[in-house]
Amino acid sequence: MPITKSAQKAMYQSQKLEKRNKDFKIRMKMAMKKFIKSIEKGEKVELAELSNLYKRIDKCLKVGILKSRNAGRKKARVAKLYHKSQTK
């Protein structure tokens, strides 16, 4: 346990941020899994679902969980899957 008050506050803040970051990351990953599985099953995927996934990725980028190139790579791969499923 931290001894000084400032160290205690820093510990609580880091725990709070860790929980928030984990929540954002889990939501993003679950949205990606759901999107990819629906494409693999051959279901018709709406543009709104792609938009929702973009929103989650962008939010993770804004908060600082993902770096810009990582977010761009994820969005590009998902877009590629979406367009490939639309042409079939």
- pLDDT per residue as tens, the chain (88 positions): 888 999 999 999 999 999 999 999 999 999 999 999 999 998 888 999 999 999 999 999 999 999 999 999 999 999 999 999 988 7
Q: Return the pLDDT at 36.
A: 94
**Rounded to whole angstroms, what are the CA distances from 34 to 28, 52, 54?**
10, 11, 13
- The domains of the chain are located at 5-87
pLDDT for 72: 96
CATH classification of 5-87, choosing from 1.20.58.110, 2.70.98.40, 3.20.20.10, 1.10.15.40? 1.20.58.110
Asked if residues 35 and 50 have their Cβ atoms less than 8 Å apart, the reply is yes
